[in-house]
Each structure stands twice: as structure tokens, then as C-alpha cells.
């Protein structure tokens, strides 16, 4: 089980794509409205939704963009809308500065601050497709660096195994090389090897084809030698 944290390639620290990164792109002209505590959240995709509840179609770590058609008018409705998105693992909510957006209630702002759920404002002059393209390009670049890190790991495994390291030290070296936090457990969530921590059981997928349970990372069942997936 791996959780994306950072990459170290060619001596340079490279971070995953975050909400803060998107705020720093001058071309997007995004403005933070609420939820500053969540600026380090990973963003895997940007998608437009005008549904009151898009969560059944989400995998987590998306930035949802809306012109306001999906936004309830009441304070209770707005709070519930934001909480649904946050519970589904949405990285951020980006709202149009004008168009159909109703006034955002105090309860909505309070929920965003309490949960650290970033709410961004997109100026009318910036089309949503431009935001989506920037996110896609950033994620693609991030994936390219991750691939490079993974290739480094495979190459390093050869010399790591020749050093006769114990299990804990081996996995610690792999974490440093890959930029991932690494966990290993049985299918039931119990530790599998001494010195290698097991993850929170709530993060384990229910099946091999289940969607990622960690925004920006993965929890995958792997086959154990001579037995069922573990």
C-alpha cells in the first residue's frame, strides 16, 4: 500500500499537485474564498458538475467546478452540499464568480473552514476548460516524475538486496527512493512483515478493482505466495 507524499529526482524535491499549486498559476486567476487549511490537498482531476450530488460518480481527489446551478440557496443546503463533497474526498470546490452562483451563506463558509475544504473562485474570463487543461497538464507532469521515481526504485532494488538489510531498513530505503510512504498488511489489515507498518484498516479496498482509497495514492491487494490475495 502506497501513499503519495513527495518525489526526489535529480536531487530536487518535487511535490504532488496540490490546491496551492493551482492557486499559484497566474493564468487561472483563482482566488481562495474559504478553507485555507486544505491547500495541501492533492488534486487528481478537475471536473464540471451541476448536480446536487455528484458523489456517486467520483473517485476522490477531484476539484469540482460549478457555475452555481448545483448550489442550493439555503444555508443548510449549502452546508450539506459542501459536506457531501468533502466526505467523498473531493480536493476542492471551484465556483464561478458570476453566472448562476447564489450568495454563499455563512454556514457554507463555516463548514469549509471547519473541514479545511478549499473553495476557490474562478473569474468569468477564465473558462472551466482552461482550468481542467492546466490540472491535466500538471497531473501528467507529476505522473512522469512518479514513473521516473519508480524506475529508480526497481534499479535500486538490485543493490539494496545485496546489502543484506533487515526488512525495516529495506522498506525505509525504498520510501526514501520512491517518495512514497509504504505499508504492508494482510487482506484483513494485520501486519505482514516485522518492522513494516500496517495502514489504517478503513483505507483498505474491498476488492482488487475498487477505486483508490487514498487521494493521490493507492491501496491494492497483492497476491501472497501460495495463497489468496493478502
In the chain, where the domains are located:
17-133
Find cell 501486519 and name the residue: 191
CA angle 210, 213, 219 (to 5 degrees): 80
Nearest to 134 by CA among 19, 49, 5: 19
Residue 116 has pLDDT above 60, yes or no: yes
The x, y and z cell numbers of residue 198, run together, are: 500496517
pLDDT one-digit tens code per residue, 117-154? 999 999 999 999 999 999 988 888 766 666 666 666 66
Residue 157 has pLDDT above 80, yes or no: no
pLDDT one-digit tens code per residue, 7-54? 332 333 344 789 999 999 999 999 999 999 999 999 999 999 999 999
pTM of the prediction?
0.61
Contact 52, 72 (CB under 8 A): yes
Give the class (CATH, top level) of 17-133.
Answer: alpha beta
**In angstroms, rounded to a whole number, what is the distance separating the alpha carbons of residues 148 and 179?**
11
Find cell 459536506 and name the residue: 83
Amino acid at each position: 500500500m502506497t501513499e503519495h507524499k513527495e518525489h526526489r529526482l535529480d536531487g530536487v524535491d518535487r511535490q504532488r499537485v496540490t490546491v496551492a499549486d493551482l492557486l499559484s498559476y497566474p493564468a487561472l486567476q483563482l482566488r481562495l474564498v474559504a478553507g485555507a487549511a486544505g491547500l495541501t490537498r492533492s488534486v487528481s482531476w478537475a471536473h464540471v458538475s451541476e448536480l446536487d450530488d455528484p458523489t456517486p460518480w467520483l473517485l476522490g481527489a477531484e476539484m469540482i467546478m460549478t457555475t452555481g446551478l448545483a448550489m442550493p440557496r439555503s444555508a443548510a443546503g449549502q452546508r450539506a452540499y459542501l459536506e457531501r463533497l468533502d466526505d467523498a474526498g473531493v480536493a476542492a470546490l471551484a465556483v464561478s464568480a458570476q453566472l448562476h452562483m447564489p450568495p454563499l451563506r455563512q454556514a457554507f463558509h463555516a463548514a469549509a473552514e471547519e473541514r479545511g475544504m478549499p473553495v476557490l473562485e474562478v473569474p468569468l474570463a477564465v473558462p472551466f476548460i482552461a482550468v481542467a487543461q492546466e490540472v491535466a497538464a500538471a497531473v501528467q507532469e507529476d505522473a512522469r516524475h512518479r514513473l521516473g521515481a519508480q524506475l529508480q526504485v526497481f534499479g535500486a532494488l538490485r543493490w539494496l538486496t545485496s546489502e543484506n538489510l533487515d526488512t525495516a531498513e529495506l522498506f525505509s530505503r525504498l520510501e526514501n527512493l520512491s517518495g512514497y510512504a509504504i505499508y504492508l498488511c494482510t487482506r484483513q489489515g494485520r501486519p505482514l512483515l516485522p518492522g513494516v507498518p500496517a495502514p489504517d484498516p478503513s483505507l483498505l479496498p474491498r476488492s482488487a478493482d475498487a477505486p483508490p482509497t487514498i487521494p493521490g495514492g493507492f491501496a491494492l491487494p497483492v497476491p501472497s505466495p501460495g495463497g489468496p490475495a493478502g
